[in-house]
């Protein structure tokens, strides 16, 4: 909230207070936005100075949504010259292209490096070998995509250097390029697994080159493969006994978790990231069936979530309010991976959990 809005709100409340109109009313309402963040709406009128102080605490002490880990410094462009709209430290628009010239990449759970380029652009062609190198060196963590505003035949006509990463065109400039307002090529953006931009600019600009070292450091910084505990999205239980689940209703039945790892997914039916995670969880439900049970815990009950698409193939547990109070959740889809002894070995955003991490934890704690 901007300061001007805060001052206007305070002046209005002061006016109500001194005119004897204020009532001792406080309403707190939870809602979930499309990114899975739990937002608290506080409606309160004051009739005392103490109430006004509490209002200031509510405004200043609430949860502030940020894409950066708690306590971490965000990235900066410094005095770098940009020839496109800046999205640094912000979520990029959803990736859409006019046509893929290669297979469609699987970007789930990976960083994405997108370069806007053209075959007639010398610096663009010069950057291709470096992008090929990135695609090979970071293949398990990074997807490299080149998007050209040129026609397909013009792109395919270019034989050297050979592009070894994913390639697409957007000849109308109405899909993805338009959002970035690219005025000079090449222009690259590096996105984390949540689609937040952590590097942008001309990757071959002297003094600001995008190197393998830069990419590696950013992947390491924003991978959050420790479970994201530094982000305070919930009360941390890492390395501790997981809170008990008090279940009101199971669907389709209560699973036998004895001797198994358990992956709990705390969700809500109107949460976009929760729906996006379902195919991955369905896949893990089958792949790790011998070692792990997946349990979805819907905030708003089972009846609504079972009608969602895609269909959920794992177990669901409608839990009591006490579980939510214990977890102190501020975001969905939030998961806990628990070993057979009931100890939490990973916790954080579902999008940050990878198949490799699950295998590592199962091998270590089985």
> Could you read off the pLDDT tens digit of each residue along the chain, which spans 366 residues?
444 444 444 444 444 333 333 444 445 555 555 455 555 555 555 444 455 455 444 544 443 334 444 445 689 999 999 999 999 999 999 888 999 999 999 888 799 999 999 999 999 999 999 999 999 999 989 999 999 999 999 999 998 999 999 999 998 766 778 899 999 999 999 999 889 999 999 999 999 999 999 999 999 888 876 665 555 688 989 999 999 999 999 999 999 999 999 999 999 988 888 998 999 999 999 999 999 999 999 998 899 899 888 999 999 999 999 999 999 988 888 999 999 999 999 999 898 888 889 999 999 999
What pLDDT, on a 0 to 100 scale, did the predictor assign at position 231? 59
Q: How many beta carbons lie within 10 A of that of residue 229, not counting itself?
A: 19
| Residue 113: strand pairing partners | 144, 190
Q: List the domains of the chain with CATH numbers.
A: 3-60 (no CATH), 99-222 (3.40.30.10), 229-365 (3.40.30.10)
d(CA 13, CA 21): 9
Question: What crossing angle do the helices spanning 122-137 and 212-222 adopt, rounded to 10°?
Answer: 50
Residue with tokens 């934890």: 361
Helix (H) / strand (E) element for 305: namely helix 302-305
Cα 175 vs. chain centroid, distance in angstroms? 22
Q: Rounded CA gap, 101 and 149, in Å?
A: 13
What's the rounded Cα separation, in Å, for the pair 291 and 136? Answer: 32
Whole-number pLDDT of residue 17: 37
For residue 1, give Cα distances in angstroms to 11, 50, 225, 248, 261.
15, 22, 32, 39, 43
Task: Decide if 204 contacts 183 (C-beta within 8 A).
Answer: no
Within 8 A by CB and 6+ apart from 108, the residues are 280
pTM of the model: 0.61
Q: In this predicted structure, what is the pLDDT of residue 208?
A: 94
Alpha-carbon distance of 351 to 280, in angstroms, equals: 9
Sequence-ordered list of residues with C-beta below 8 angstroms from that of 299, at least 6 positions apart, any chain: 32, 266, 267, 268, 269, 324, 332
pLDDT at 140: 87
Residue 162: both structure tokens together? 């050979």
pLDDT at 198: 96
280: Cα separation from own chain's centroid: 15
Distance CA 338, CA 342 (A): 6
Element (H, E) at 147: strand 142-148
What are the structure tokens assigned to 189, written together?
């953006």
């Amino acid at each position: 909230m901007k300061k001007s809005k805060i001052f206007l709100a305070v002046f209005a409340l002061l006016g109500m207070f001194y005119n004897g109109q204020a009532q001792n009313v406080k309403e707190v309402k939870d809602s979930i936005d499309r990114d899975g963040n739990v937002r608290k709406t506080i409606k309160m009128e004051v009739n005392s100075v103490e109430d006004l102080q509490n209002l200031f605490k509510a405004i200043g002490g609430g949860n502030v949504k940020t894409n950066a880990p708690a306590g971490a410094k965000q990235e900066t462009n410094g005095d770098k010259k940009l020839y496109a709209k800046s999205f640094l430290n912000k979520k990029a628009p959803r990736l859409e292209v006019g046509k893929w010239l290669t297979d469609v990449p699987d970007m789930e759970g990976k960083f994405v490096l997108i370069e806007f380029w053209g075959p007639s652009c010398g610096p663009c062609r010069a950057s291709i070998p470096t992008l090929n190198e990135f695609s090979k060196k970071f293949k398990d963590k990074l997807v490299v995509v080149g998007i050209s505003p040129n026609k397909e035949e013009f792109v395919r006509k270019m034989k050297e250097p050979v592009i070894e990463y994913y390639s697409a065109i957007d000849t109308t400039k109405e899909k993805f390029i338009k959002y970035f307002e690219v005025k000079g090529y090449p222009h690259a953006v590096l996105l984390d697994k949540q689609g937040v931009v952590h590097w942008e600019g001309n990757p071959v600009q002297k003094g600001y080159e995008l190197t393998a070292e830069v990419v590696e450091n950013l992947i390491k910084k924003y991978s959050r493969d420790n479970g994201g505990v530094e982000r305070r999205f919930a009360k941390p239980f890492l390395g501790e006994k997981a809170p008990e689940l008090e279940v009101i209703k199971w669907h389709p039945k209560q699973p036998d978790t004895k001797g198994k790892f358990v992956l709990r997914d705390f969700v809500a039916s109107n949460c976009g990231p929760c729906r996006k995670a379902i195919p991955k969880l369905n896949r893990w439900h089958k792949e790790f069936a011998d070692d792990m049970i997946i349990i979805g815990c819907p905030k708003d009950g089972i009846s609504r979530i079972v009608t969602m698409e895609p269909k959920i193939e794992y177990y669901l547990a409608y839990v009591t309010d006490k579980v939510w109070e214990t977890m102190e959740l501020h975001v969905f889809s939030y998961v806990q991976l628990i070993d057979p002894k009931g100890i939490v070995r990973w916790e954080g955003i579902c999008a940050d959990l990878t198949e490799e991490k699950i295998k590592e934890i199962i091998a270590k704690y089985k």
